[in-house]
Structure 1
């Protein structure tokens, strides 16, 4: 036990280390002390007048190791969030870094992320609407990826997946919906494309109503127009749309069909290659 106790106070000396004028051991690399004196009132307690200290280069090495470990933990956390948060791996590529500049609304997504704390506090939801291929899903995915990079959990899914999960009975309906609503941000992509059965509409309403009561932000992408939402075809749709319009600010997406333009560019490249 005595030997173990003494080892705590023994300073490992390297061949290039040296004794300073103050009697302490100095690092031969960075020329800073590897020892420090105990305060006078501690000497009697430990029976020694000095203890090991971290020289400048050792401190730098330790801080570098700790920073690397923090980076590793951060990457592991982000990877776990994206694995759980996205229902399609393609969504991982929907980032600000991959922006091609063809979505004029994207600066608004950057502002949403920048002001996330305020958006969260004020339950700031968005209803992204416009024609097919105008960048609505990409806009939402950029927000999701950026927040997950900050270790904020986000769920981005669609009602086709939600309804399939509920029908498959992977877990109780209430537990499943409660888990969806526990995310700080929920994104529902391609709203309005799901099955319009009585059961399906009931589940859609239950999810949106539960999200409303959770008082957490919701982002929805849809090809439906505000006119469609304000003039529902029946009562079942009316109560769903009412909830959405209460929770989300409509954002209109203009511009060209990005997917169609990308497909056309790819076709032109293939034609050139096959000439």
Structure 2
């Protein structure tokens, strides 16, 4: 729009003068609060329905408008983040797996921060993580932190596991290709608890189809597993070998060595129970 067209728009959407407003020596209306003009003259020779001036934002109006626009942007942002988390997580509890809620006991958590900070480079280079380590060391939480942080940046992420994927594929025989294509459409796919699914011939074939399709999509993949790196590098048969080869090519191994938080949680509960019982005779 030209300056003249903008001026016409402001004239059409003008608000009434406030009681404290006043007319300046130049004949224009001024804001009684910020003392800035709320009107401006049209370019020389131009008028609109006989008027030689049009409304103009004073500092007060500009600040109010900017606050409203910022509030609207934040509302739309929170709405989008909510949609991403609703569709991207298979378990609502994953929403709480955030950097803010981290207990600080995972020595490798800085790698999760780095992944989020360098997301554009990770995406461009098709770089993922293969998170491996003992049970209960926080591998899933590590991946969840990445997912939540990227969703806060309005990046679409899917965090699921093969047990759910295989169930979905079995229930939608005619739409398998469409289902796998949807998984591969997410900028980041996280496969949690890899290796825990049933090892049937059908199951392995579907696992390979998902992993291979993700490989060919050129998009990053993050996998968490209780398998050791040695097990992944020395598969038991050809069916596992072709899956593991794809994973190790796509994902950089990161060993998670945090304390077993499940055992730690159990100890905390036991200590709390002992305090509640306060020496009462009961077999624990």
Establish whether TM, by shorter chain, passes 0.5. yes
Equivalent position of 1:32 in the other structure: 36
- State the alpha-carbon separation in 1 of the partners of residues 204 and 88 from structure 2: 24
Alignment of 1:214-253 (within 5 A): 214-253=217-256
Moved more, 74-83 or 54-63: 54-63
RMSD between aligned alpha carbons? Answer: 1.6
Structure 2 residue matching 1:133: 3-state secondary structure: coil
Q: TM-score, normalised by structure 2?
A: 0.91
Equivalent position of 1:96 in the other structure: 99
**Deviation (angstroms), 1:46:** 4.8
Equivalent position of 1:166 in the other structure: 169
Equivalent position of 1:110 in the other structure: 113
- 1:59 equivalenced with 2:62 (yes/no): yes
- State the alpha-carbon separation in 2 of the partners of residues 125 and 64 from structure 1: 39
Q: Which consecutive unaligned segments of at least 5 residues does structure 2 have?
A: 1-8, 279-284
**Deviation (angstroms), 1:187:** 0.3
**Deviation (angstroms), 1:222:** 0.3
Q: How many aligned residue pairs are there? A: 269
User: Closer, same or farther in 2 for the Cα pair 1:54/1:171, shift >3 Å?
Assistant: farther
Structure 2 residue matching 1:239: 3-state secondary structure: helix
Equivalent position of 1:125 in the other structure: 128
- 1:147 equivalenced with 2:150 (yes/no): yes
Equivalent position of 1:21 in the other structure: 25
Moved more, 103-112 or 265-274: 265-274
User: Closer, same or farther in 2 for the Cα pair 1:203/1:272, shift >3 Å?
Assistant: same
Alignment of 1:180-259 (within 5 A): 180-259=183-262
**Deviation (angstroms), 1:255:** 3.3
**Contact kept in structure 2, 1:129 and 1:222, CA below 8 Å:** yes
User: Closer, same or farther in 2 for the Cα pair 1:170/1:34, shift >3 Å?
Assistant: farther
- 1:84 equivalenced with 2:78 (yes/no): no
Structure 2 residue matching 1:242: 3-state secondary structure: helix
Per-residue CA deviation, residues 66-115 of structure 1 (Å, 9 max, x unaligned), is 11111000000000000000001111111100111100000010001000
User: Closer, same or farther in 2 for the Cα pair 1:31/1:160, shift >3 Å?
Assistant: same
**Contact kept in structure 2, 1:20 and 1:26, CA below 8 Å:** yes
- State the alpha-carbon separation in 1 of the partners of residues 205 and 136 from structure 2: 28
